[in-house]
Chain A
Amino acid sequence: MIGWIDSRLGVDSWARKALRKVFPDHWSFLLGEIALFTFIVLVATGVFLTLFYRPDATPVVYEGPYAPLRGREVSAAYESVLRLSFEVRAGLVMRQIHHWAALVFVASIVVHAARVFFTGAFRRPREINWLVGVGLLVMALMMGFTGYSLPDDLLSGTGLRIGYSAIISIPFLGPYLAYLAFGGEFPSEGVISRLFVMHVMLFPAIIIGLISAHLAILVRQKHAQFAAAGRTERNVVGKRLWPSQVFKSTGLMLITAAVLAVMGGLVQINAIWEYGPFDATTVSSPAQPDWYMGWLEGAIRLWPPFEPSFFGITLPAMFIPSVLLPGIFFTLFALWPFVEARAIKDHEEHHLLDRPRDVPFRTAVGAGGLAFVTVLTLAGGNDVLALMFNVPVESVTWFLRVAIFVVPAAVAGVTYRIALELRDGDRRVFGRKKAIFLERGPSGGYDEKP
């Protein structure tokens, strides 16, 4: 069989070489794999959902088994999701696995990106793959936003409305762009089918393309590795792809899918029948987006009522927190490898990873950035916090308006000190930057191992 294929395609030696690829072993290298496997789960469950979902805003009267909504006028899209949830066998579990997988997908990308950032794995020659990764993160967010808008329930309709208001706030172009994106003034009937096409066709195609590039570059450049005995900038030390790494990764894939399956079965998520169908004149309170949108929502909530106007041209209050801020944030994030290389004048190739303490400045910037996003995410739930601690929502907002400046700065400062102490502590012990290894000899004395 292998001979039959090889005599036609001549791929045997290529495949053997690929299966002999060397993988350095470290648990944190599996985070990216979790993202990949979650994407596979998303595609598998998503295909199933697509077969039942109707991207159609036409009003219909609900007559299904869910009694509280019977007789209510809902959109065909919403009705199809109710039918999928209550009438299609295994439909609800598929939907819930899909939604949980979407949350884990973004989370695993973020944690993977943090690993790459804090270990300096983005440095030359891996800057291109860092950019591809940032593209994947942005696409994952777009997938999340378009996906949770599809059921056409009250909560997702609120998210869409805020998205529309963000687009319309763009100076000079906003109204035109918003009408092009939504096909007219919000709420327009056609937007559901557009979101559907983006969610099931356009964005997945882009993501598959980016994942392919991400992996191809990884194979071409080989893995980076943590410093240890025998590991240098010129080699890569680890186990071969076949068999151990293939087995480990397959095991991890199945375990990832298993966790998502259990969550999808046991933990309810996005119960759209409780929110009710979308209605342009109603909104639920408190309204929370999925976790990865919380920081943008938080920025919008914290922003002061600042809406200046020059010569009759208004700068809408939404523009800075909902368009400019994420734009600047992602630009800085994407360009970080180049910014850092210029700042410390280091344009060399690096294949040995840093420990976070080795580069206190970078670690402090990363920790400060994470703190910034965390405070914003809390602000996205200021109404929930107010309810939880039984204080006026105004107080929570004012507290967080101060915290957004204080907390990231404090976290960055403290992180810098800790990293510096740890690094210098190591140096005091070892007297040099790289670790040395001691071996106990037969006479009981210690010798330095080369």
Chain B
Amino acid sequence: MKAERGVQLAFVLSTLSSIGLVIVYVRGGDPQLEGLLLGAALGGLGIGIAVWATRLMHSPEVTEDREILVSPAEDAAGPLEGEGEAVTRRSALVRMLIGAGGTLTAALAIPTLSLGPTPGSSLRQTKWTAGTRLVSAAGRALRPADIPFEAVITAFPEDEVGSADSQTVVLRLRSGLLQLEGRAATWTPEDCVAYSKICTHAGCPVGLYRSAAHELLCPCHQSTFDVLRGAVPVFGPAARALPQLPLGLDDEGYLVALGDFPEPVGPSFWNLERGDDE
């Protein structure tokens, strides 16, 4: 008898909560109350029904035999066609049917290629060209003096602010710190240096800078790059250095690119070293 009382109580609670839910909604709504009342309406009903089933229904336990799953031998053995000719008798036709069906399937799958362009050389190119000025996210052209020591600035090609594949970090270091070799050492006007901001591992923006260690850190998988030595990876899963942007100054003293990045930016792909895409 006690259980029946409980079920009654649960059903009443559910009914009242449903009414309350409507009232809350009509009066402008409130996420917390909506969740609570919906929960009480559903839960009251659910608990009531569950208690009813477990406490009040005395359904007996029954035993049922399992069927044998495998089909009887006579069903499996007989030909499907009955007295007619077996389909497999004309084997040449069967082979041609399979061949034509397969060809049609392949032809029907071809429109999948409409889903996207072929990469071509797009993975190897960004919007940087020789003579393009570096501008900040606000679109202001940058001079070395605009860049504070030990800070990173995100730069874009002029007129391409926000460009995903051209995003670049530019830093100005105290003189004598940079340890670059070869032509990379010449891309450092007034000790400024610029690297692609796209992590060579999974393509996240390399957004954090540990100024004491001169390391760029990618927050996605903690790949860490040494700014002083050409952004070579020093920790984490990234295996390639961040490509360095050839940097120079124009006649008015603004930072400009001397050309595009020398290597592909962003996550690695199988033929990134070959460069023989059409």
A: which residues have CB within 8 A of B? 22, 89-90, 92-93, 96-97, 125, 158, 161-162, 164-166, 168-172, 174-176, 178-187, 220-222, 230, 233-240, 243-245, 247-248, 250-259, 261-266, 279-287, 297, 300-307, 309, 312-318, 321, 349, 351, 382-383, 393-394, 397
Contacts and interface: CB of A to CB of B under 8 A. Distances in A.
A387 to B, nearest CB: 12
Interface residues of B, number: 79
Nearest to A279: B162
Contacts of A166: 202
A243 to B, nearest CB: 6
B116 A254 contact: no
A162 B123 contact: no
A244 B59 contact: yes
Nearest to B34: A93
A314 B46 contact: no
Contact of B117 (A161, A184, A312): A184
A183 B112 CA distance: 11
A221 B164 CA distance: 54
Contact of A236 (B64, B117, B119, B236): B64
Given A169-B267, A180-B115, A251-B50, A90 B123 contact: no
Given A180-B113, A248-B54, A281-B162, A258 B202 contact: no
Given A281-B205, A283-B219, A171 B270 contact: yes
Interface stretch (B36-44, B179-187, B242-250, B252-260): B36-44
Given A183-B116, A265-B39, 4 more contacts: A162-B203, A247-B52, A287-B220, A314-B271
Given A174-B270, A175-B269, A237-B62, A165 B202 contact: yes
6 contacts: A22-B63, A220-B69, A254-B49, A265-B34, A285-B219, A307-B239
Given A162-B220, A247-B49, A282-B207, A93 B31 contact: yes
B235 interface: yes
B160 to A, nearest CB: 12
Given A162-B220, A237-B62, A258-B43, A168 B25 contact: no
Nearest to B119: A175
B61 to A, nearest CB: 6
A237 B203 contact: no
A15 to B, nearest CB: 17
A357 B255 CA distance: 70
Given A265-B35, A280-B167, A186 B270 contact: no
B271 A312 contact: yes
Contacts of B237: 300-305, 317-318, 321
Nearest to A168: B269
A262 B39 CA distance: 5
B172 interface: no
Given A90-B29, A185-B123, A254-B49, A235 B269 contact: no
A189 to B, nearest CB: 11
Residue of A262, A287, A303, A306 with most partner-chain B CB within 10 A: A262
Given A235-B65, A281-B205, A255 B274 contact: no
A265 B112 contact: no
B192 interface: no
B18 interface: no
B45 A318 contact: no
CB-based closest 6 A-B pairs: A265-B35, A254-B46, A251-B50, A258-B43, A307-B239, A285-B219
Given A181-B115, A239-B61, A164 B42 contact: no
Contacts of A283: 204-205, 207, 219-220
A258 to B, nearest CB: 3
Nearest to A301: B221
Contacts of A175: 119, 123, 269-271
B89 to A, nearest CB: 32
A247 B220 contact: no
Nearest to B202: A165
Contacts of A305: 223, 233, 236-239
Given A165-B202, A230-B63, A394-B235, A89 B164 contact: no
B69 A309 contact: no
A305 B221 CA distance: 11
A261 B49 CA distance: 18
B64 A181 contact: no
A237 B61 contact: yes
Nearest to B50: A251
Nearest to A321: B237
Given A255-B47, A283-B220, A89 B202 contact: no
A165 B31 contact: no
